[in-house]
Structure 1
Amino acid sequence: MSFINEYTKELIATGILLLLVFALRLITSSLVRRFANATHIVEHRTNLVVKYLHLLINILAVIALILIWGVQPKDIIIAISSVTTVVGVAMFAQWSILSNITSGIILFFSFPFKIGDVIQIHDKDFPIIAEIEDIAAFHVSLKTKEGERIIYPNNLLFQKGISIMKHHFDDKEYVD
């Protein structure tokens, strides 16, 4: 009983924070899904963005809990900077993973092209004309007219020039 008396403010603040996290997760999910429905974005992409936003909310909630329960801000900054340094060094060789995730989120919200569009990637060494089959967190699945399946990293879509073609790969027979 003395625990409850001693930490009443922290317990109340923790309860309020948990309610706030729950509400924020519901609100962000609802807003992202409403945006996806309005722009006709595929459910798979929507779920990925919702998952990323929930992860961000959870990380912020953990930091808030640490502050509520009395850890000094300078100690948090030291811990975060240490972890960030280790992760930064470890991820330096894997920057493309972060770049692909960021590009996937940008593609979700900016939607310059959609599934079913035929695009031309202007690469002097390996030009591609293909139809977009799927847009995932790390890559875009493309299918050429010949049926070849290409997995193209999201970050390269922002580094190369892209044209959205007007025609699709429907096999049509023309008779004179």
Structure 2
Amino acid sequence: MNIFEHYYRECIGTGLVIFLVIFLRIIVTKAVRRYAKSHTGIEKRTNLVIKYIHLLINILALISLIVIWGVQKNDILFTLSSIATVVGVAMFAQWSILSNITSGIILFFSFPFKIGDVIKIHDKDFAVEGEIIDINAFHVDLITKEGEHIIYPNNLLLQKGISIVRAKYDDREFTD
């Protein structure tokens, strides 16, 4: 009896999981790009969100493969809970990073402002007004009228009140 005959069901299951991963990654990529194109054309943020979703799909596929190949469910739960505990303790000190990543995803899908908008961040201690020059996973880059470059964390953007002062306009004359 060769190995393929002995592990026939596991090989078929693995093939199905691989097919589903490829299929889901293609569908998700197209859906996110279509959504981003209909709302704004910021390619950098689109690729970042696609990367996060692909990571989630890969993790779910890995868990599926572990189950298919016969690892006991109790062992999986024990391992996952141990990993989650270690990651949770390690990330507790890094909550700001997770908060900024989550905020970056929220900003991507809600699009309250876009590159080129001039915004005012209402903070009683340090009010900021500037033009958005870039939106990243962790922060937004602003430039003030005075030319000061400000890097503002995404999680603070969701916590503070923000006014969109005006959109950036081309320097051209308007005629009737």
Q: How would you bin the TM-score normalised by the shorter chain?
A: over 0.9
Distance 1:117 1:167, change over 3 A: closer
SS in 1 for 2:53: helix
- 1:151-170 correspondence runs (5 A): 151-166=151-166, 168=168
Give the unaligned 5+ runs of structure 2.
none
- 1:82-101 correspondence runs (5 A): 82-101=82-101
8 Å Cα contact 2:105-2:137 kept in structure 1: yes
Q: Which residue of 2 aligns with 1:70?
A: 70
Measure how far apart 1:2 and its partner are: 1.7
Number of residue pairs matched? 172
Q: Which residue of 2 aligns with 1:41?
A: 41
User: Following superposition, which runs of at least 4 residues in structure 1 exceed 6 angstroms of deviation?
Assistant: 169-172
8 Å Cα contact 1:116-1:132 kept in structure 2: yes
Q: How many angstroms apart in 2 are the aligned matches of 1:89 and 1:40?
A: 37
Measure how far apart 1:170 and its partner are: 7.8
State the TM-score, normalizing by the size of structure 1.
0.94
- 1:119-130 correspondence runs (5 A): 119-130=119-130
Q: How many angstroms apart in 1 are the aligned matches of 2:116 and 2:62?
A: 41
Instruction: Please tell me the residue identity of whatever aligns with 2:152.
Output: Y
Distance 1:167 1:65, change over 3 A: closer
Distance 1:170 1:18, change over 3 A: closer
SS in 1 for 2:134: strand
8 Å Cα contact 1:131-1:169 kept in structure 2: no
Which region of structure 1 is more displaced relative to structure 2, 106-115 or 34-43? 34-43
* Identical-residue share of aligned pairs (%): 66
Q: How many angstroms apart in 2 are the aligned matches of 1:167 and 1:100?
A: 25
8 Å Cα contact 1:142-1:152 kept in structure 2: yes
SS in 2 for 1:121: strand
Measure how far apart 1:72 and its partner are: 1.5
Question: Any idea what the Cα deviations from partners look like across 1:44-94, whole Å, max 9, x if unmatched?
Answer: 110000000000000000000000000112211111110010011111110
State the TM-score, normalizing by the size of structure 2.
0.94
Q: How many angstroms apart in 1 are the aligned matches of 2:169 and 2:146?
A: 9
Q: Which residue of 2 aligns with 1:133?
A: 133
Q: Which residue of 2 aligns with 1:117?
A: 117
Q: How many angstroms apart in 2 are the aligned matches of 1:28 and 1:138?
A: 23
Q: How many angstroms apart in 1 are the aligned matches of 2:109 and 2:32?
A: 9
Q: How many angstroms apart in 2 are the aligned matches of 1:27 and 1:171?
A: 41
